[in-house]
C-alpha cells in the first residue's frame, strides 16, 4: 500500500502550488472574473508552456500519461486558488472526448492544439429538460448527403462562449431518452446556424446557452461511432466529476484553514473566538469532512485508473460525499466568519460559491447517492 | 384551547384578501410573482398605501397609529401578505426604532419622529454593529463627546442595511469614559444622515448587490435633544429593540409560501421522465422541512399568544430566530436543487423590471443561487444563531 505521489506528481503539484500562491491571489482572480474573456489568456499560455495541458492525455496522444491520479493532483491545486481558467471544459471534457473516441486525424488535429494552448473546447451535453440524464437528448442530427444537420438547444455549456470547437451530443436515432442513438459532433463554434449566449456563472466562470438551427456539419466531424456515444460520454463525465471533486478538496482545505486562522484573530467578548469550544468542535468537524473528502477522491481516482465496472460506483460515492462535505465546510466557513463571510470582499465567500456550484454540476448529492445504491 | 378562526376572524381574513387584491399595485405584484428585484420606491409606495388604510404599523399601540389587532389578526395579515408576495416592512423605522421612541422617548420626540415613520416619509437605518463589535455589540467604540448642547460623534458603523437610502440613522454610541463598564456608558442617538461629517460606503454581498454599507462619522455634531432617554441607558433600550427584531424573524408565512413554490416547481421539473417531486429522496427532504415548519408555526403562535396577554417576547424568541432562519435556508437549498444546472448562470440583470433580453432558464431558476448565498446572512444578523443559543443557555437553562 502506497499513497505517496510519484516524483513527477510531486513536481507537478509543486509547480501549480507555486503558481497559485505567487500569481493567482484573490484580487487577481476577481479581476479575471470580471474581465471580458473571463480568464487570462496569458495564464493559459503558461499552463501550456509548463505542460499542465498535457496532463489529461496519454503518452500515445503526446501527453504526460493521462492518469486520473495525475488529474487529481492538478485539480486539487487549482481548487486552492479557485482557478477559473477553462481547464475542465477544454482539456478534461473536450480533449477527453477526442482522446476517447476520436479518429487519428481528429486527434492529430485537435489534441495538439489543446496541449499547445491554442484551442478552446466545450462539451454541450445538457439540455433544458434533461437535468442529470445524459441520455435525455432532444437535439437532433439528421443525415443529409455527406453532412449531418443539427438542431436543438444545449444548456449551461461550460466555456461555451470561448470555445473554438464545441462537442455536441445529438440524437441520430431512437426516442428522446434512449441510451442508443446518441452521437457526438465536433461543431465549429462559428458555423452558420450556431447562436451562443454567453454569461458569467455564480462561481466566477463562464458558460453559455448554445442554440443550433439547421447547422450543417461534415460527416468527418462525427466523433466516434454513430449512435454509440453514451458510454464515451459517461466515461468522460466520470473524469470531469473526479476533476471537480478534487478541485473541491483543494477549495475545502483553504476554506477550513482560513476559517481556523480567522477565528484566532477575531476578538469578541475579550478573547479570540477560537477559544469558544462550541466553535472549536465545529472546526474539528470541518477538518474531518475535508479528510474524508480527500480519501474518497483518492479512492475514486484509483478505481478510475483501474477501469472496469466499479468506476461508476466509485464516482457516485465520491460525488455524493463531496456534495455533503462541500456544503458543510462552505456554510460553516461563512457562518464562523460572520458578516464579512457573506460579502464579495473576502475570498471565503467565493470558495463557498464554487463548492456550491460543484454540488450542482453533473448530478447533486441525492442523484449520486441514488445512483450508487442502484449500481 | 382553540386555534380555529372565529366568524369575525374569517371576515377579517376576507377583508384583508380583498384589500390586497385591490390595492397591491400591479407592477409590484408582477415583481413579486416573477421574483424580480424590489426597489426603494416599491417599499415606500406600498407602505404609504398601508398607512392610508391604517394598517402600516401592525404592532404599534393604537394611540400612535397602530392597528390594535389581536395576535390572530396579525397572523392572518402576515400569511395573506406572504401569499401575494407583498413587499415586507423595511424594519428599521417601523419595527426597530419606533418601539424605542414610543417606549423611552419624550413627547417632543414622539411627535417629531413617529408620524413620518408611520407614513414612510423618512427612511431609517441602523447603526449598531462596528467592524470590531459584532456578536459582542457592547464592545462598540463609536464615541459621542458632549460639547455644550451637542454631542460630537466619531467612529464607524457597519452592516448598515440599505443605508444608502437612509434619511436618519439610530446609533448606539459610547458617551462614558473608556474606564466605565461597557454597557453603562452607551447612549441611544438619532442622527440626521445629512449632517456634515457622515460618509456612506457600499459593501457588496455575495449576490453582488449593494445591500449593506459602512457609515463613517467624522466629528458629526448631533443635538443633545436627539438622545433617547437617559445618557448611559442606551443598552437597556437597545435590548428591547433587539427582542422586537427577533420576533418577526421566524418568517413562517414566507417560508410556507416558499415551500409551496418548491413543490410546484419540483412537480414541473423533469427528473428521468418523472416529476422531481416524485423522487423519494427529494420528497423526503421537502416533507422534513414542512414538518419542521409546522412545529415552528405553533411555536410562533404560542409566543404571539403570550405577547398578546401583555408579556414582552422573552428568550423564547431566540427559538424563532434560530429555527426560522434554518428552515428558510433549507428551503433556499431545495430551490437551488430543483433549478439544477440552471442555478449555475449568473444573470442578475434578468431580474430587473426593465430587462428585455433573452431569458435564460425556467422561471426564476437563475435567482435561486444568489438568494441562497444572500440568505446565509440571516443566521448571522440580528444576533447570530450562536448568540441566540448563548441567550437560551443563560436566560432559560440557567447555565
* B270: β partners: B275
CB contact under 8 A, A342 and B135: no
Tell me the CATH number for domain B123-233: 2.40.110.10
Are the beta carbons of A127 and A137 closer than 8 angstroms? Answer: yes
Interface test with B, best of A360, A362, A371 (most B CBs within 10 A): A360
B 269-288 residues with CB < 8 A to A:
269-273, 276, 279, 281-282, 285
Beta-carbon separation of A341 and B376 below 8 A? yes
User: What CATH number is attached to the domain comprising A362?
Assistant: 1.20.140.10
Task: Using an 8 Å CB-CB cutoff, list chain B residues near A197.
Answer: 358, 360
> pLDDT, tens digit, for every residue of A154-203?
999 999 999 999 999 999 999 999 999 999 999 999 999 999 999 999 99
**What mean pLDDT do residues B223-239 have?**
94
Given A164, A195, A227, the domain boundary residue is: A227
Domain count, chain A: 3
- Residue of chain A whose Cα is closest to the Cα of B135: A268
**A343-B131-B178 Cα angle (round to 5):** 170
Asked if the structure places residue A1 within a domain, the reply is no
3-state secondary structure of A328: helix
What's the mean per-residue pLDDT of chain B? 93
For residue B276, give the C-alpha cell: 422531481
In tens, the pLDDT along B255-304 reads: 999 999 999 999 999 999 999 999 999 999 999 999 999 999 999 888 87
Residue A2, in any domain of the structure: no
Chain A residues touching residue B286 (CB < 8 angstroms):
none
Same-domain check for residues A66 and A169: no
Cβ distance of A199 and B208 shorter than 8 Å: no
Among A128, A342, A353, the residue to mutate for chain B (most B Cβ within 10 A): A342
Do residues A250 and A194 both lie within one domain? Answer: no
Cα distance between residue A41 and residue A316, in whole Å: 34
Any chain B CB within 8 A of the CB of A352? yes
Instruction: Give the residue numbers spanning the domain of A75.
Output: 7-119
Min Cα distance B61 → chain A (Å) is 34
Please report the pLDDT score of residue B1 as a whole number.
Answer: 61
In angstroms, rounded to a whole number, what is the distance separating the alpha carbons of residues A339 and B384? 10
Q: Is the CB of residue B151 less than 8 Å from the CB of residue B144?
A: yes
C-alpha cell of residue B59: 404592532
CA distance to partner chain A, nearest, from residue B87 (Å) = 23
pLDDT at B4: 82
Give per-residue pLDDT as tens, B300-322. Answer: 888 877 776 766 667 778 999 99
Q: How far is A52 from A43, CA to CA, in rounded Å?
A: 11
Is B398 strand, coil or helix? coil
In this structure, what CATH number is given to the domain that contains residue A93?
Answer: 1.10.540.10
Same domain for A37 and A79, yes or no, is: yes
**Closest A-chain CA to B361:** A128
Q: Which of A227, A261, A279 is the last residue of a domain?
A: A227
Q: Which of B159, B208, B342 sits opposite A339 (nearest CB)?
A: B159
Q: Which residues of B touch A267 (CB under 8 A)?
A: 132
- Facing B272 at nearest CB: one of A126, A133, A356: A133
Residue spans of the domains in chain B: they are 7-89, 123-233, 251-396
Nearest residue, CB atoms, A360 vs list B279, B343, B374: B343
Q: For A225-260, what is each residue's pLDDT tens digit?
A: 999 999 999 999 999 999 999 999 999 999 999 999
A201 touches B at CB < 8 Å: yes
Q: What share of chain A is helix, strand, coil (3-state, %, to 5)?
A: 55, 15, 30
- Asked if B270 lies within 8 A of A341 by C-beta distance, the reply is no
Q: What element of type H or E holds B246? A: helix B234-247
* Chain B positions in Cβ-Cβ contact with residue A30 (cut-off 8 Å): none
Interface with B, mutate which of A278, A338, A349, A359 (most B CBs under 10 A): A338
Give pLDDT, residue B19: 98
Is B320 exposed, middle or buried, given 0-12, 13-18 or 19+ CB atoms closer than 10 A? buried
Q: Is there a single domain that holds both residue A349 and residue A252?
A: yes
| Nearest Cα residue to B262 out of B190, B327, B358, B192 | B327
Task: Give the ipTM of the model, two decimals please.
Answer: 0.97
pLDDT at B243: 65
CB contact residues (below 8 A), chain B span 45-74, against chain A: none
Count A/B contacts: CB-CB distance under 8 Å: 135
A236 and A201 both lie in a single domain: no
Residue B55 has pLDDT above 70, yes or no: yes
Q: How many CA atoms lie within 13 A of A113 on its CB side?
A: 18
pTM over 0.90: yes
CATH number (domain holding residue A191): 2.40.110.10
Q: Does A269 touch chain B (CB under 8 A)?
A: yes
Helix (H, G, I), strand (E, B) or coil at A171: strand
CB contacts, 8 Å: B369 with chain A? 202, 353, 356-357
CB contact under 8 A, A278 and B389: yes
Between A49-58, B16-25, B348-357, the lowest mean confidence (pLDDT) is in B348-357
For residue B383, is pLDDT > 90? no
Q: pLDDT band at B239, cuts 50/70/90?
A: confident
Whether residues A136 and A169 fall in one domain: yes
Same domain, A92 and A166: no
**Is A207's CB within 8 Å of B344's CB?**
yes
Give the minimum alpha-carbon distance from B170 to chain A in angstroms, rounded to a whole number.
20
- Chain A hits for B325, Cβ within 8 Å: none
pLDDT above 70: residue B180? no
| pLDDT at site B131 | 94
Residue pair A179/A171 in contact by the 8 Å Cβ criterion: no
B376 vs A268: CB contact, 8 Å cut-off? no
A107 & A141 share domain: no
Is A129 near chain B, with CB under 8 Å? yes
Q: What is the DSSP string of B92-121?
A: IIIIIIHHHHHHHS-HHHHHHHHHHHHTT-
Asked which of A104, A119, A134 is the last residue of a domain, the reply is A119
What CA–CA distance (Å, rounded) separates A329 from B171? 35
- A322 plus A348 within the same structural domain: yes
C-alpha cell at B252: 413562517
Quote the CATH superfamily of domain B251-396.
Answer: Butyryl-CoA Dehydrogenase, subunit A, domain 3 (1.20.140.10)
Which stretches of chain A score pLDDT less than 70?
none
DSSP-H helix ranges across chain A = 7-23, 26-33, 41-49, 68-80, 87, 95-101, 104-116, 230-265, 277-306, 310-337, 347-360, 365-374
Amino acid at each position: 500500500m502506497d499513497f505517496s505521489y510519484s516524483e513527477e506528481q510531486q513536481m507537478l503539484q509543486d509547480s501549480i502550488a507555486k503558481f497559485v500562491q505567487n500569481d493567482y491571489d484573490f484580487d487577481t482572480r476577481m479581476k479575471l472574473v470580471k474581465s471580458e474573456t473571463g480568464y487570462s489568456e496569458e495564464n493559459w499560455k503558461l499552463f501550456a508552456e509548463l505542460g499542465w495541458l498535457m496532463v489529461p492525455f496519454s503518452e500515445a496522444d503526446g501527453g504526460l500519461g493521462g492518469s486520473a491520479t495525475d488529474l487529481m493532483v492538478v485539480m486539487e491545486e487549482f481548487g486552492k486558488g479557485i482557478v477559473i481558467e477553462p481547464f475542465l471544459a477544454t482539456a478534461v471534457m473536450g480533449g477527453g472526448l477526442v482522446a476517447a473516441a476520436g479518429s487519428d486525424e481528429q486527434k492529430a488535429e485537435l489534441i495538439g492544439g489543446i496541449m499547445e494552448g491554442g484551442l478552446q473546447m466545450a462539451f454541450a451535453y445538457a439540455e433544458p429538460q434533461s437535468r442529470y440524464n445524459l441520455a435525455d437528448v432532444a437535439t437532433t442530427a439528421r443525415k443529409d448527403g455527406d453532412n449531418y444537420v443539427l438542431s436543438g438547444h444545449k444548456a449551461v455549456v461550460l466555456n461555451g462562449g470561448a470555445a473554438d470547437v464545441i462537442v455536441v451530443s445529438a440524437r441520430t436515432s431512437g426516442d428522446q431518452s434512449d441510451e442508443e442513438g446518441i452521437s457526438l459532433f465536433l461543431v465549429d463554434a462559428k458555423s452558420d446556424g450556431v447562436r451562443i449566449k454567453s454569461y458569467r456563472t455564480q462561481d466566477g466562470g463562464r458558460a453559455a446557452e448554445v442554440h443550433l438551427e439547421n447547422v450543417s456539419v461534415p460527416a468527418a466531424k462525427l466523433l466516434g461511432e454513430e449512435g454509440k456515444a453514451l458510454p464515451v460520454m459517461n466515461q468522460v463525465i466520470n473524469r470531469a466529476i473526479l476533476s471537480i471533486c478534487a478541485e473541491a478538496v483543494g477549495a475545502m482545505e483553504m476554506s477550513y484553514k482560513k476559517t481556523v486562522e480567522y477565528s484566532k484573530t477575531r476578538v469578541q467578548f475579550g478573547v479570540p473566538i477560537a477559544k469558544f469550544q462550541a466553535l472549536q468542535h465545529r472546526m474539528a468537524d470541518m477538518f474531518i469532512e475535508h479528510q474524508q473528502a480527500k480519501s474518497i477522491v483518492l479512492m475514486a481516482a484509483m478505481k478510475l485508473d483501474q477501469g472496469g465496472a466499479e468506476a461508476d460506483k466509485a464516482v457516485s460515492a465520491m460525488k455524493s460525499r463531496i456534495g455533503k462535505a462541500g456544503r458543510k465546510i462552505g456554510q460553516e466557513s461563512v457562518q464562523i466568519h460572520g458578516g464579512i463571510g457573506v460579502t464579495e470582499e473576502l475570498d471565503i465567500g467565493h470558495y463557498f460559491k464554487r463548492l456550491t456550484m460543484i454540488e450542482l454540476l453533473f448530478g447533486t448529492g441525492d442523484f449520486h447517492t441514488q445512483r450508487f445504491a442502484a449500481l | 384551547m382553540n386555534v380555529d378562526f372565529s366568524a369575525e376572524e374569517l371576515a377579517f381574513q376576507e377583508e384583508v384578501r380583498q384589500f390586497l387584491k385591490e390595492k397591491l399595485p400591479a407592477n409590484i405584484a408582477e415583481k413579486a410573482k416573477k421574483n424580480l428585484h424590489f426597489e426603494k420606491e416599491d417599499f415606500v409606495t406600498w407602505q404609504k398605501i398601508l398607512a392610508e388604510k391604517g394598517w402600516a404599523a401592525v404592532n404599534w399601540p393604537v394611540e400612535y397609529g397602530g392597528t390594535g389587532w389581536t395576535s390572530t389578526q396579525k397572523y392572518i395579515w402576515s400569511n395573506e401578505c406572504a401569499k401575494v408576495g407583498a413587499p415586507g416592512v423595511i424594519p428599521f423605522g417601523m419595527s426597530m426604532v419606533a418601539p424605542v421612541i414610543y417606549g423611552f422617548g419624550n413627547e417632543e420626540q414622539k411627535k417629531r419622529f413617529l408620524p413620518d415613520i408611520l407614513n414612510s416619509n423618512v427612511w431609517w437605518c441602523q447603526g449598531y454593529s462596528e467592524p470590531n463589535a459584532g456578536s459582542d455589540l457592547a464592545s462598540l467604540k463609536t464615541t459621542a463627546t458632549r460639547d455644550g448642547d451637542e454631542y460630537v460623534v466619531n467612529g464607524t458603523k457597519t452592516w448598515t442595511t440599505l443605508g444608502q437610502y437612509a434619511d436618519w440613522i439610530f446609533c448606539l454610541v459610547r458617551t462614558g469614559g473608556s474606564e466605565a463598564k461597557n454597557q453603562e456608558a452607551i447612549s441611544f442617538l438619532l442622527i440626521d444622515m445629512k449632517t456634515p461629517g457622515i460618509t456612506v460606503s457600499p459593501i457588496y454581498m455575495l449576490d453582488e448587490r449593494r445591500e449593506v454599507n459602512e457609515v463613517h462619522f467624522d466629528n458629526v455634531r448631533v443635538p443633545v435633544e436627539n438622545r433617547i432617554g437617559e445618557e448611559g441607558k442606551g443598552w437597556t433600550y437597545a435590548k428591547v429593540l433587539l427582542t422586537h427584531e427577533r420576533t418577526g424573524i421566524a418568517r413562517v408565512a414566507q417560508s410556507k409560501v416558499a415551500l409551496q413554490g418548491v413543490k410546484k416547481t419540483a412537480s414541473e421539473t423533469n427528473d428521468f421522465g418523472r416529476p422531481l417531486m416524485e423522487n423519494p429522496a427529494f420528497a423526503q427532504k421537502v416533507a422534513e422541512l414542512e414538518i419542521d415548519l409546522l412545529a415552528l408555526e405553533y411555536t410562533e403562535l404560542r409566543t404571539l399568544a403570550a405577547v398578546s396577554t401583555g408579556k414582552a417576547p422573552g428568550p423564547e424568541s431566540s427559538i424563532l430566530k434560530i429555527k426560522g432562519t434554518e428552515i428558510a435556508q433549507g428551503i433556499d437549498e431545495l430551490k437551488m436543487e430543483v433549478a439544477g444546472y440552471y442555478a449555475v448562470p449568473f444573470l442578475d440583470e434578468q431580474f430587473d423590471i426593465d430587462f428585455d433580453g433573452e431569458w435564460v432558464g425556467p422561471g426564476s431558476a437563475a435567482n435561486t443561487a444568489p438568494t441562497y448565498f444572500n440568505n446565509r446572512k440571516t443566521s448571522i444578523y440580528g444576533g447570530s444563531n450562536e448568540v441566540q443559543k448563548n441567550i437560551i443557555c443563560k436566560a432559560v437553562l440557567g447555565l
